[in-house]
A and B are shown apart, each in its own frame.
Chain A
Amino acid sequence: DIVLTQSPDSLAVSLGERATISCKSSQSILYGPDNKSALSWYQQKPGQPPRLLIYWASTRESGIPDRFSGSGSGTDFTLSISSLQPEDVAVYYCQQYLTIRRTFGGGTKVEI
């Protein structure tokens, strides 16, 4: 199975500052002739299900604020929150969907 390693485990950021989370894959997750990376990012708040933020490593889901951005290709990926807001306090997970046997990163807790 593809292993995703997230870092850091937790992150404290001041309001209005940038938060950056890393996700590294044990193998390339490039897919198809367009060479897109089959990686998504989710946000999960306490007591709630995960919410899709980003797919194809850098495409924002509909309704997601543009302060959230994803980057990277192949095996190294980054989720950035450009200006942290109080409602962004959550745990963030990366997920690969190159194979139907999905795997998730261990999660990164973002706090103020």
Chain B
Amino acid sequence: EVQLLESGGGLVQPGGSLRLSCAASGFTFRSYAMSWVRQAPGKGLEWVSAIIGSGDDTYHADSVRGRFSISRDSSKNTLYLQMNSLRVEDTAVYYCAKETLGKSDDYWGQGTLVTVSS
């Protein structure tokens, strides 16, 4: 059974940093691209970042480019999102998602809440 478990969310002041983790199980982690998608309170879904299976290529939304960095550790079956220079508008539930080629994001974690506030 595919499972994705996010952690690392919490309350942080503007300008601060946070690292999110997503522990994956039930599939061959290194074979799949992974993404982070966020959802601000009461709002829709916003794609944030993606990384291919090998980790060699990463992609970021314009809204986070230069501040966020996605990475993965296949020895630990874990996906990361390093978030620096956080802004109030980064407040959201952050989901990690597994991509199956041709299906887009077929499995999602339960999400972790990041609150940026002074």
Chain A interface (Cβ within 8 Å of chain B)? 38, 40, 42, 44, 48-52, 55-56, 61, 93, 95, 97, 100-107
In Å, the complex CA distance between A56 and B100 comes to: 12
Chain B interface (Cβ within 8 Å of chain A)? 33, 35, 37, 44-47, 50, 59, 61, 95, 99, 102-106, 108-111
Contacts of A97 in B (CB 8 A): 99, 104-105
Closest-by-CB residue of A relative to B33 is A100
Instruction: Please give me the 3 A-B residue pairs with the lowest Cβ-Cβ distance, nearest first.
Output: A49-B108, A97-B104, A102-B47
Whether B104 contacts A107 by the Cβ 8 Å rule is no
> Which secondary structure characterizes the binding site on chain B?
strand
Closest-by-CB residue of A relative to B107 is A52
> Which secondary structure characterizes the binding site on chain A?
loop
- Which of A44, A103, A106 has a CB less than 8 Å from the CB of B47? A103
If the complex has contacts A93-B45, A102-B35, A107-B44, are A55 and B104 also in contact, measured as CB distance less than 8 A?
Answer: yes
Contacts of A44 in B (CB 8 A): 45
Contacts of B50 in A (CB 8 A): 100-102
If the complex has contacts A55-B104, A93-B45, A106-B44, are A101 and B109 also in contact, measured as CB distance less than 8 A?
Answer: no
In Å, the complex CA distance between A38 and B101 comes to: 11
In Å, the complex CA distance between A79 and B105 comes to: 18
Contacts of A101 in B (CB 8 A): 47, 50, 59, 61
Other than the given A40-B105, A49-B109, 4 more pairs (CB < 8 A) read A40-B104, A50-B105, A95-B104, A104-B47
Closest-by-CB residue of B relative to A41 is B104
Shortest beta-carbon distance, B87 to chain A, in Å?
Answer: 20
Shortest beta-carbon distance, B98 to chain A, in Å?
Answer: 10
| 12 residue pairs A–B, Cβ–Cβ below 8 Å | A40-B103, A50-B95, A50-B105, A52-B103, A56-B102, A95-B105, A100-B50, A101-B61, A102-B37, A102-B47, A102-B104, A107-B44
Contacts of B35 in A (CB 8 A): 102
Contacts of B45 in A (CB 8 A): 42, 44, 50, 93, 95, 104, 107
Contacts of B103 in A (CB 8 A): 40, 52, 55-56, 61
Contacts of A95 in B (CB 8 A): 45, 104-105
